[in-house]
Amino acid sequence: MANIEFGTAIPAVTKVPEYAQRAEKLGYDYLCAGEHMMFHGPVGNTLITLSVAAGATSKIKLMSSVVLLPLYNPTVLAKLTSVLDVASGGRYHMGIGIGGEFPKEFEACGIPVKQRASRSNEALEVIKKLWTEENVTFEGRYSKFSGVTISPHPTQKPHPPIWVAGRKEPAMRRAALYGDGWIPYMYTPEMLHDSVEKIKQFGAEAGRDMSKFRTGLFIFASIYPNGDEAREQAAKALGKNYAQDFSKIAGRYTLAGTPDDCRKRIKEYVDAGARTIMISWACRANDIDQNLKLVAEEVAPAFR
């Protein structure tokens, strides 16, 4: 079996150094963090959270899961991410999403929500150029500048990996055209398999070499000795997170059950093409530490 990478989402804005060090010690490959300007509860900023984690660790990779790309000026984001990659010793991976489920955060940032896709595609072009070239000139719909050099450039060459998140076909096309990886969420193994085939097709049509493209998965997990308790906690946690009823669908989209249940489910995702499994927690807050340990010691070793 191919070597499968495992990552874990940083669950809160507080105690980031302690959590990051524990994940690194347990052998996780990635720490990830997402963001929103506003959400159903407190939520952090991916670049701030990962910067704190970077300072507390030495080798674990750091992934935005995800940075809400259209809410940023792309030149500013290129600078922030370049500095983070350098400061972390070349450990940063930029996962991007285009958002849209909270139109109010777009309004607050002065970005028309209907422009989020076109802005994101152009931003990826801008960021790649600024990461890799000097005296950059760009003439686009949203960005226009000349003679711009960002220094320092990222440590990773040619640039930090770009992972594209999403669930629908335009996101798959974005991954094929601009990405180095695909990191969908709320996906079944069947959906993942179909998306991998479409991305390969889009990449071939664009003439891109997809041989090093990596397929990932962002998934919520709830692991308990009693599988029913695990599934109940997953539905409850996601219902609270997303302010909707997850009781009927949590089982389809989560790793919920005993460690053995989770190994079997991950095997289905691996068979569908997943090579990087990013796990966020849908268990009780008090049980996160135990779940973190269970994945590292009883689930991940089956795929190493």
Final residue belonging to a domain, choices 145, 164, 183: 164
Q: Identify whether 300 is part of a domain.
A: yes
Per-residue model confidence (pLDDT) at position 241: 74
Residues 125 and 14 occupy one common structural domain = yes
Final residue belonging to a domain, choices 115, 148, 164: 164
Q: Identify whether 172 is part of a domain.
A: no
Residues 70 and 145 occupy one common structural domain = yes
Residues 145 and 207 occupy one common structural domain = no
Per-residue model confidence (pLDDT) at position 238: 84
Residue appearing with tokens 């962002």: 218
Residues 251 and 129 occupy one common structural domain = no
Per-residue model confidence (pLDDT) at position 251: 75
Residues 44, 123: Cα–Cα separation, whole Å? 22
Average pLDDT for 249-254: 80
Residues 138 and 57 occupy one common structural domain = yes
pLDDT higher than 70, residue 234: yes
Final residue belonging to a domain, choices 143, 164, 185: 164
Residues 154 and 217 occupy one common structural domain = no
pLDDT higher than 70, residue 138: yes
Is the CB of residue 138 less than 8 Å from the CB of residue 144? yes
Average pLDDT for 254-281: 96
pLDDT higher than 80, residue 2: no
Residues 29 and 156 occupy one common structural domain = yes
Q: Identify whether 111 is part of a domain.
A: yes
Average pLDDT for 205-221: 96
Average pLDDT for 190-214: 97
Two tokens, residue 232:
């109940």
- CATH code, domain with 280: 3.20.20.30
Residues 158 and 205 occupy one common structural domain = no
Average pLDDT for 100-113: 95
Per-residue model confidence (pLDDT) at position 89: 98
Residues 144 and 226 occupy one common structural domain = no
Q: Identify whether 244 is part of a domain.
A: yes
Per-residue model confidence (pLDDT) at position 282: 94
Q: Identify whether 23 is part of a domain.
A: yes
Residues 152 and 228 occupy one common structural domain = no
Neighbour count for residue 128 (Cβ, 10 Å): 16
Please state the domain count of the chain.
2
Per-residue model confidence (pLDDT) at position 248: 72
Band (12; pLDDT cuts 50, 70, 90): very high
Residues 149 and 215 occupy one common structural domain = no
Residues 6, 98: Cα–Cα separation, whole Å? 24
Is the CB of residue 187 less than 8 Å from the CB of residue 195? yes
Residues 264, 279: Cα–Cα separation, whole Å? 15
Q: Identify whether 178 is part of a domain.
A: no
pLDDT higher than 60, residue 92: yes
Average pLDDT for 133-149: 98
Classified as helix, coil or strand, 12 is coil
Band (276; pLDDT cuts 50, 70, 90): very high
Average pLDDT for 281-292: 96
Q: Identify whether 176 is part of a domain.
A: no
Q: For residue 290, give its domain range.
A: 193-304
How many percent of the chain have pLDDT more than 70?
A: 99
Residues 201 and 66 occupy one common structural domain = no
- CA-CA-CA-CA torsion sign (214, 176, 84, 100): negative
Two tokens, residue 208:
């891109």
- φ/ψ region of 70 (left if φ > 0, alpha if ψ in -120 to 50, else beta) reads alpha
Q: Identify whether 260 is part of a domain.
A: yes
Give the ranges where 14-159 is alpha helix by DSSP (H).
Answer: 16-25, 46-56, 74-87, 103-109, 116-132
Calculate the average pLDDT of the chain.
95
pLDDT higher than 90, residue 64: yes
Per-residue model confidence (pLDDT) at position 1: 55
- Which residues have a Cβ under 8 Å from the Cβ of 240 and sit 6 or more positions away? 40, 41
> Tens of pLDDT along 181-196?
999 999 999 999 999 9
Burial class (CB in 10 A: 0-12, 13-18, 19+), 149: exposed
